Amino acid sequence: TEFFYYFPYFCAMPKEFQFQVSPEAAANEDLLVKKVAQFCKIGASDIQKVVVLKRSIDARQKSIKINLKGKAFLVGEEYTDSKIELPDYPNVENKQEVIVVGAGPAGLFAALQLIELGLKPIVLERGKEVRGRRRDLKAINVDGIVNEDSNYCFGEGGAGTYSDGKLYTRSKKRGDIDRILELFVGFGATPDIMVEAHPHIGTNKLPQIIQDIREKIIACGGIVLFGTRVTDFVLKNNQIEGVVLQNGTIITAQKVILATGHSARDIFELLYKKNILIEAKPFALGVRAEHPQSLIDKIQYSCDYRGEFLPPAPYSMVKQVNGRGIYSFCMCPGGVIAPCATSPGEVVTNGWSPSKRDQATANSGIVVELKLEDFKPYQQYGPLAGMEFQKAIEQKAWQLAGETQKVPAQRMVDFTQNKISTNIPKTSYVPGTTSIEMGQVFPGFLTQIMREGFLQFEKSMKGYLTNDAILHAPESRTSSPVRIPRDDFSLEHLQIKGLYPCGEGAGYAGGIISAAIDGEKCALKVAESLK
Ligand code: FAD
């Protein structure tokens, strides 16, 4: 009787599966159902619904496979399409105010978390709202004009908005990552990001999500102000009491989350000037390489044409040269190289891609790990030495390429052979390129490591080292050159009570997901301290 009692219940459990299929079968529902039926030893007509929980590409073999993990619900079993809902955000209009400086992923997710915890965020963002930013992106691309408050790094959504929107991180805390991914889905991202091993959103989809986050914050009684650059802190006996805006307005609050990103040099300078503890932090620096996407597909998928069922191939590379790591960074399949300067008189590259990653080129930062000792020539700047090292390279590149937003460029093989390229073809970098021997842009030790690095990359990815690949310089904003130290437990600044250094700019995140996680963490600590 016991068996019969449990048997129906046992039957009602969906069948779990985990196997590899061809890219075509993974993309075609009917083929997938057949494959699941075969695997579970049931009839295809017995299957009501196949739900894929994890999907990744296995390109190690000659014939590429898709790893799938999921559940099959049989006909008659209870199955409901579970839609991810946003948390029940309360109205916080009359609650205690907390200032959040910066509306990047760290600031926005901090604001949402504050609302969840019953606090009222006042978000101050130096840049424009997400759509208004577009005009300034056009100005930098087409006319070479850099707006210091509105560019690829500054403005609503922060540096992550007009990006590739890659949503993976080296952090191992699956729970924290899933929570952020769920919020993205709740705000309109495709639920596929919960399934893919390497999810991404794309530049065309991110702005609407960012706008919806802002509208939610405002609907709950929070405040979001644009064109409000913070230029000073109001301090009394090492306690923060508010911030001063560029127009002189003072906004007061006992708690300030400082999430200004890795490019807010004026904030680092302000902290230093006010004798508020900051530290130089190693980061990485190098070039952005662009290959034809078809070439990367050919190398990664070992085939002449990737076909219609595989996505444009990514790549990831790490090597050691002279005791330092040289690695690919923020690789954008089917993407475009963007001018990411935040001040006139400098050039900076980074990459973005649309959600379909359908551009003909693949780009990636190829960067070398820096050490604090590399900043010695700038030691008179104290903790800002790394920032000055970074700035000097960006300014030199600007000068060498003709004092516009054009960047120094060189063909990859020519670079390894220390030879100026006789011509540079048109690349995805809209402001254009100037043919330069890259060794002029970087200190000698960096050039040497990069030259050797490319030779080593070729050993792992045959065909990677080619003159069809164009290097653009520099890729310099990989992470913050400064750390704003905070207490490990309270997350408050080591000297200033009520100040919460947060996200990438403070040195506690690298990328959209980890910045968002750090934003939430800071908001939680603010709420705890107010209890
Ligand atoms: P930020 O996003 O830098 O936000 C800081 C905000 O503070 C900005 O909006 C800025 O305007 C504002 N601010 C600065 N100073 C002040 C001030 N004084 N007063 C008021 N406001 C101020 N990461 C990924 O994970 N995946 C990717 O695919 C990816 N692609 C990228 C592509 C590009 C082109 C760029 C530039 C970056 C990319 N990144 C990517 C990196 C990612 O965007 C950052 O890691 C992330 O945005 C950091 O978040 P944050 O909130 O800490 O800082």
Ligand 1: does its nearest atom lie under 6 Å from the Cβ of 268?
Answer: no
Question: How many Cβ atoms from other residues are within 10 Å of residue 138's Cβ?
Answer: 12
Atom of ligand 1 nearest to the CA of 165: 28
Separation of alpha carbons 518 and 160, rounded Å: 15
Ligand 1: does its nearest atom lie under 6 Å from the Cβ of 101?
Answer: yes
Ligand 1: does its nearest atom lie under 6 Å from the Cβ of 504?
Answer: yes
Ligand 1: does its nearest atom lie under 6 Å from the Cβ of 165?
Answer: yes
Ligand 1: does its nearest atom lie under 6 Å from the Cβ of 511?
Answer: yes
Separation of alpha carbons 517 and 467, rounded Å: 40
- Cβ distance 54 to 197 under 8 Å? yes
Q: Residue 405: which residues within 8 A CB-CB, separation 6 or more? A: 140, 141, 144, 146, 339, 341, 347, 431
Atom of ligand 1 nearest to the CA of 263: 3
Ligand 1: does its nearest atom lie under 6 Å from the Cβ of 314?
Answer: no
Distance from residue 177's CA to the centre of ligand 1 (Å): 18
**Both ends of the chain: CA-CA distance in Å?**
55
Distance from residue 220's CA to the centre of ligand 1 (Å): 24
Q: Tell me the two tokens of residue 531.
A: 């209890």
Q: Residue 38: which residues within 8 A CB-CB, separation 6 or more? A: none
Ligand 1: does its nearest atom lie under 6 Å from the Cβ of 330?
Answer: yes
Query: For position 9, what pLDDT does the model report?
Result: 43
Domain 97-279+482-530 coded CATH 3.50.50.60: yes
Strand, coil or helix: what is 39? helix
Q: Any idea of the CA torsion for 169, 526, 495, 244, to the nearest 10 degrees?
A: 100
Q: Residue 471: which residues within 8 A CB-CB, separation 6 or more? A: 287, 288, 289, 290, 366, 409, 410, 411, 412, 415, 438
Bridge partners (DSSP) of residue 470 are: 290, 411
Pocket test for ligand 1, best of 112, 260, 475 (most atoms within 8 A of CB): 260
- φ, ψ at 327 (rounded to 5°): -150, 160
Bridge partners (DSSP) of residue 101 are: 124, 258
- Which CATH code fits 2-74? 3.30.1660
Atom of ligand 1 nearest to the CA of 231: 18
223-225 sheet: strands from edge to edge: 223-225, 120-124, 97-101, 256-258, 499-501
Separation of alpha carbons 285 and 519, rounded Å: 26
User: How many CA atoms within 13 Å lie on the side-chain side of 218?
Assistant: 10
Atom of ligand 1 nearest to the CA of 152: 36
Distance from residue 94's CA to the centre of ligand 1 (Å): 30
Condensed to tens digits (0 to 9), the pLDDT of residues 432-483 reads 999 999 999 999 999 999 999 999 999 999 999 999 999 999 999 999 999 9
Ligand 1: does its nearest atom lie under 6 Å from the Cβ of 350?
Answer: yes
Q: Going by DSSP bridges, is the β-strand pair 223-225/120-124 parallel, antiparallel, or unpaired?
A: parallel
Closest by CA to 231, choosing from 260, 254, 211, is 260
Atom of ligand 1 nearest to the CA of 153: 36
Condensed to tens digits (0 to 9), the pLDDT of residues 83-134 reads 899 999 999 999 999 999 999 999 999 999 999 999 999 999 999 999 999 9
Task: State the burial class of residue 356 (Cβ atoms within 10 Å of its Cβ: 0-12, 13-18, 19+).
Answer: exposed
Ligand 1: does its nearest atom lie under 6 Å from the Cβ of 503?
Answer: yes
Domain ranges of the chain: 2-74, 97-279+482-530, 284-475
Asked if 2-74 and 97-279+482-530 have one fold, the answer is: no
ipTM of the complex as predicted: 0.99
Distance from residue 36's CA to the centre of ligand 1 (Å): 42
Separation of alpha carbons 197 and 67, rounded Å: 10
Ligand 1: does its nearest atom lie under 6 Å from the Cβ of 264?
Answer: yes
Query: For position 303, what pLDDT does the model report?
Result: 86
Ligand 1: does its nearest atom lie under 6 Å from the Cβ of 267?
Answer: yes
pLDDT string in tens for the chain (531-residue length): 344 344 444 455 789 999 999 999 999 999 999 999 999 999 999 999 999 999 999 988 778 999 999 999 999 888 887 789 999 999 999 999 999 999 999 999 999 999 999 999 999 999 999 999 999 999 999 999 999 999 999 999 999 788 777 888 776 777 799 999 999 999 999 999 999 998 988 888 899 999 999 999 999 999 999 999 999 999 999 999 999 999 999 999 999 999 999 999 999 999 999 999 999 999 999 999 999 999 999 999 998 889 899 999 999 999 999 999 999 999 999 999 999 999 999 999 999 988 889 999 999 999 999 999 999 999 999 999 999 999 999 999 999 999 999 999 999 999 999 999 999 999 999 999 999 999 999 999 999 999 999 999 999 999 999 999 999 999 999 999 999 999 999 999 999 999 999 999 999 999 999 999 999 999 999 999 998
Separation of alpha carbons 379 and 369, rounded Å: 19
